[in-house]
Structure 1
Amino acid sequence: MKRIKFVSALVVVITGCLFLTTWFLPTVAANKDNNNQPARSFTVKAVIPHNQTDKKLTYYDLQVHPQQKQTLKMVVTNLGTKKLKVDLNINNAYTSQNGIISYDKSYVHLYKAQQPALSDLVQGKRHKNIVIDPQQSRTVKFTYQAPKTSFQGIILGGITASAAVGNSKKKNLTIQNRIRYVTGVVLRSQTHTVNPHLTLGPNVRSQSRNMQSGLNFELRNAQPINLSKMKLRVRITPKTKNMPLRQLNNMQMAPNSTWQVFVPYKKLTAGTYVLHLNVKEKPGWEQNFTRKFTITKSQENTLSKESSARNWPILTWILLIVVLGVVLVIGYLLWVYLQGSKHN
């Protein structure tokens, strides 16, 4: 009889622990009503003005004249069944560490720019908050004034619109979802073509990023033109043997920006190396760079420690705690059972 009670208690404990595991697992809120209509969802649409260079584009690509003043209009529509707060920002373009053009930073310093940044041309607030009723639309306006003189290339920025669409629950761990849209803003003045030209920063060094070891160097774009679909071919030659060839595809760079390039390499021991870098963006344009660099023993040790460090996510710790709890409870019940058996 006691054996049956022990087994029953064990089943109850394991079932309870499994329930707790499910309870603490992060869940993505479906955020929908019973009629499958999303509670919070929205869209944005740029109102294309008369000076748009190509009416087929869904972002602003504008031909401007010196000191021209213009208001950009964007229609934000709440598609959901609840009121929605939307944050809008008009920012400069920059090159992120991942090698894409981004617009989410409120302050971006341009690299060797001969023309003003878009943020310097905006008149009034660059950040706006609006609340939209369900199934309604609102028009948001940003006003800018073009530079005093004509300029080469482009001035590039973007309008980001974001809103929280996830449900928050007190009794359950829920991931907070956000929807973000980016609408590019391109200002043009002179019509002649600006050719890309990159330079390589002075420092080439070993680095650890996202628990990966690799090589870091800086590419600099001082030209007022963006680069897209870039292909980087990276080759390292030490004294003894060639390292594996690395290739990065579909990379981007914003005008007048820098990019901290990271190339994964598993083993970068102390020694002297030569970096061979080839960059291509389109047929007929490419650049080659060669740079000698040294990795010290101290840098090698630091890189090894950073790469091997384990940074487990919170979910892993929760599961470990639950499993440990199961083991302790089973051990305790087993001890109680054995103690009871001794007295019989």
Structure 2
Amino acid sequence: MRRWWWVLLALVLLAPGRKVQAEGAGFTVTPKLPSNQIGGNTGWFNLLVKPGVKQNLTVEVDNQSAETKKLELSLTNAFTQDNGQVGYEPNKKQDASAKVQLTAIGSKPITITLAARQGRNVTFQVTPPAKPFPGQVLGAIYVRDLTKPAQASGSGFAVTNQFAMVVAVQLQTSQKLVPPELHLLAVKPKADSVSATIQNAQPRLFGKLKLMARIYPAGATKAVVTQRSTNYAMAPNSAFNYQVTPKTALAAGKYRLVIDASAGSYKWHLTRNFTLSAPVVPSQTAAAKKSSPAPWWPWVIALVAMLLLGILVGWWRGRKTQRG
């Protein structure tokens, strides 16, 4: 029996709403916002918490399908994906600059079974540190459908949609925000690009990040690679790998990467030297070389040579026959 799994993630961090749902999922997740919610009913937890005081995070999970569902709920930590967007799925990423993470101060995962059309409240507890922490702690309540797939049909195929839903959780002990702080931690050459690890070392979620990356040969003032990116976002205390891809191959040698970044009034100038021990060849260039047809002119020359040889042989035989 063969099974195909499709995953749909419903995220509500930046989209206002009360109930998290997705067409075909068969269940919904609704956050029960407490009185210490700030910023209004955004459809996710944005809480001003007290140091050392336990905080309940309650969601109502409703099974809207006609079958029993098994669901797993867990707390996750937000991180920055390599595509420059904030992710909330379960992960093991932990930046060295993070002092507080949601999973470290929250309760363990919970698995529930809901009968058809049944609903239930599920509560997590988080206990903030005894002393106030600066900035924001960002994560989510992640709800995953663990319901076993239906038996395969006679054709031997079973098609199953597996859904996961997310309700973002942001905690603060003060409404005063700290400014983001970007660092260029490392530059690592890859076969087809140059990977730059960019870190946000502060507990601050921010977006509308613009990046201008330039690569200079050592000692040169003219860039051989220029790349622009916009509308990136970064989670608090996180890092991601930004891929700088040249349009043409970069030869082995010494280079300098410069990234000018901005988000609103915040600006950063990041630079780091690196060495290429082997050329960096963009994948499209390599593919073009691989797929490009063999040159036609050697075949034309060979054909012309064969024709001339044939004419010469025919002429020589004709003369020999006339002499005979």
Q: Does 1:187 align with 2:171?
A: yes
Write the mapping of 1:186-205 to structure 2, written as runs, cut at 5 A: 186-201=170-185, 203-205=186-188
Write the mapping of 1:163-312 to structure 2, written as runs, cut at 5 A: 163=145, 167=150, 169=152, 171-201=155-185, 203-208=186-191, 213-238=192-217, 239=220, 242-266=223-247, 267-282=249-264, 284-297=265-278, 300=280
Partner residue, 1:162? 144
**Based on CA coordinates, which of the two structures has the bigger radius of gyration?**
2
Percent identical residues: 29
Retained in 2: the 8 A contact 1:206–1:268? no
SS in 2 for 1:120: helix
Inter-CA distance 40–105: structure 2 relative to 1 (3 Å threshold):
closer
Inter-CA distance 173–257: structure 2 relative to 1 (3 Å threshold):
same
- Taking only aligned residues, the RMSD between alpha carbons, in angstroms, comes to 3.0
In structure 2, what is the Cα distance between the partners aligned to 1:90 and 1:177? 23
Inter-CA distance 275–107: structure 2 relative to 1 (3 Å threshold):
closer
Retained in 2: the 8 A contact 1:214–1:268? no
Retained in 2: the 8 A contact 1:51–1:63? yes
- What does the per-residue CA deviation read over 1:116-163, in whole Å, with 9 as the maximum and x for residues that have no partner? 22222114x2x1111112222111110111210111101111111121
Partner residue, 1:130? 112
SS in 2 for 1:265: coil
Partner residue, 1:48? 33
- What does the per-residue CA deviation read over 1:73-108, in whole Å, with 9 as the maximum and x for residues that have no partner? 101111222111112110222222222222223544
In structure 2, what is the Cα distance between the partners aligned to 1:230 and 1:252? 6
In structure 1, what is the Cα distance between the partners aligned to 2:240 and 2:76? 18
Partner amino acid, structure 2, of 1:216: S
In structure 1, what is the Cα distance between the partners aligned to 2:170 and 2:25? 30
Partner amino acid, structure 1, of 2:55: Q
In structure 2, what is the Cα distance between the partners aligned to 1:147 and 1:236? 43
Partner amino acid, structure 1, of 2:235: A
In structure 1, what is the Cα distance between the partners aligned to 2:95 and 2:62? 33
Retained in 2: the 8 A contact 1:164–1:176? no
SS in 2 for 1:88: strand
Partner residue, 1:32? none
In structure 1, what is the Cα distance between the partners aligned to 2:139 and 2:274? 35
Retained in 2: the 8 A contact 1:40–1:83? no
Partner amino acid, structure 2, of 1:130: I
Would you tell me which structure has more helix in proportion to its own residues? 1
Partner residue, 2:49? 64
Residue 130 of structure 2, aligned match among 129, 138, 148: 148
Retained in 1: the 8 A contact 2:33–2:41? no
SS in 1 for 2:214: strand
Inter-CA distance 26–196: structure 2 relative to 1 (3 Å threshold):
closer
Note the residue ranges of structure 2 that are not aligned, 5 or more in a row: 7-22, 288-324
Partner residue, 1:323? none
SS in 1 for 2:190: strand
Partner amino acid, structure 2, of 1:152: P
Moved over 4 A (4+): 24-28, 164-168
Q: CA deviation at 1:240?
A: 9.3
Retained in 2: the 8 A contact 1:163–1:180? yes
Write the mapping of 1:325-336 to structure 2, written as runs, cut at 5 A: none
Q: CA deviation at 1:175?
A: 5.0
Note the residue ranges of structure 1 that are not aligned, 5 or more in a row: 1-23, 29-37, 309-344
Report the TM-score, using the length of structure 2 for normalisation.
0.73
Retained in 1: the 8 A contact 2:5–2:160? no
In structure 2, what is the Cα distance between the partners aligned to 1:240 and 1:195? 32
Inter-CA distance 193–26: structure 2 relative to 1 (3 Å threshold):
closer
Partner residue, 1:90? 75
SS in 2 for 1:177: strand
Partner amino acid, structure 1, of 2:43: T
Retained in 2: the 8 A contact 1:237–1:275? yes
- What does the per-residue CA deviation read over 1:309-329, in whole Å, with 9 as the maximum and x for residues that have no partner? xxxxxxxxxxxxxxxxxxxxx
In structure 2, what is the Cα distance between the partners aligned to 1:80 and 1:157? 28
